[in-house]
Amino acid sequence: MRTLQLTLEEAVSICKTLGNDHRMNILRILSEGPMNVNELSDKIGIPFSTAAVNVKRLEESELISTEIVPGRGSQKVNSKRYDRIIINLAEKEVPEENTIKFEMPIGEFVNSEIEPTCGLLSDTGIIHSQDEARSFFEPERKEAQLLWFKSGSVEYHFPNRIPYGSGVEDINFSVELCSEAPYFKLDWPSDITCWINGLEVGTWTSPGDFGGERGFLTPSWWGTNNTQYGLLKNWNINHTGSYIDGVKISDLTIDELKLLEKPYISFKLGVKKNADNVGGMNLFGSRFGNYEQDILMTIRHSKNK
């Protein structure tokens, strides 16, 4: 699936181009395959000159491409360039002073203890084989863009870049995930737990395994009868306790994590075998699901003392 991602400034011009029924119909028809202006004119039921003007506008906005095809009498043939357009409403973040950010690919886990059903996908295909825990130890696992399992956990070691002598204000982990059901099931609760540096931070109950409608970034070869996207969740620990999306879940504080005592920061996600809802877990990478990110760690710290 070819996706065009736009900033707010870029979106203004594109939206003006798309604000026309004829141009929207042209894009819809070109989803069937390349066509020349005569064919588009006939299909939409508009004069050739009107179709040509609108095709030119779409070309100028780079939403379609045009090439000469000798096999069709040296005619100009038009093709749609994108299947999906995403407009980023949030402005690009400016890094704050004394803030550390690191994004970890989901396939870079250092340990996994999982039980089938399970599997890993890159953005081009299945890695090794499905429902085989051994797949999680194949070198190709680092290419994973979606991984899933019924119970167990995956653990990541993030580089520790906190300056010596500084105080840590809070740490946040942002990740897209959901439950794991056969194919997909919107009503399929699962208790997903987070651990940092070996300490249990808290549990979020995912309401279901989401499919039936393609995720914004999910490749077209992965059928919509399978898991498509998750929810973006944030685990945050500060001096007052631990939170999920701003809701306090435990009294575990940032000082208890002892972040400066190890050369890495351990982050683990999993589903306990004895959880109330053993509904599995799907974890999404930056080229799968609805959010263009892997596992994002953000640390705010004070100046060196």
pLDDT tens digits, 68-92 = 777 555 678 888 887 777 777 765 5
User: Which has more pLDDT, 90 or 286?
Assistant: 286
Sequence-ordered list of residues with C-beta below 8 angstroms from that of 3, at least 6 positions apart, any chain: 82, 83, 84, 85, 86, 216, 217
Average pLDDT over residues 34-59: 90
pTM score: 0.76
Among the ranges given (23-27, 115-119, 141-145, 258-262), the one the predictor scored with the smallest mean pLDDT = 23-27
Q: Report the percentage of the chain scoring pLDDT > 70.
A: 94
Query: What's the Cα-to-Cα distance from 126 to each of 93, 178, 228, 232, 277, rounded to whole Å?
Result: 34, 19, 15, 24, 27
> Which residue, 168, 83, 49, 127, is CA-closest to 285?
127
Which amino acid, one-letter code, is at 90?
A: A
**Strands 3-6 and 247-250, sheet pairing:** unpaired
> So what's the pLDDT on residue 181?
96
Classify 289 as helix, strand or coil: coil
Classify 244 as helix, strand or coil: strand
Query: What's the Cα-to-Cα distance from 287 to each of 54, 127, 144, 199, 217, rounded to whole Å?
Result: 32, 15, 10, 30, 6
Given a cut of 90, is residue 165 above it in pLDDT?
no
Q: Are 95 and 102 in contact (CB under 8 A)?
A: no
Average pLDDT, the chain: 91
Place of tokens 């997909």: 184
Tokens of 213: 């409608």
> So what's the pLDDT on residue 71?
59
> So what's the pLDDT on residue 15?
87
Query: What's the Cα-to-Cα distance from 140 to each of 100, 118, 121, 122, 137, rounded to whole Å?
Result: 28, 15, 10, 9, 8
Q: Are 158 and 257 in contact (CB under 8 A)?
A: no
Alpha-carbon span 286 to 26, nearest angstrom: 31
**Which H or E run includes 67?**
strand 64-69
Average pLDDT over residues 289-299: 96
Instruction: Give the angle subtended at the CA of 155 by the CAs of 261 and 93, to the nearest 5°.
Output: 80
> So what's the pLDDT on residue 73?
57
| 33 — pLDDT class (breaks 50, 70, 90) | confident
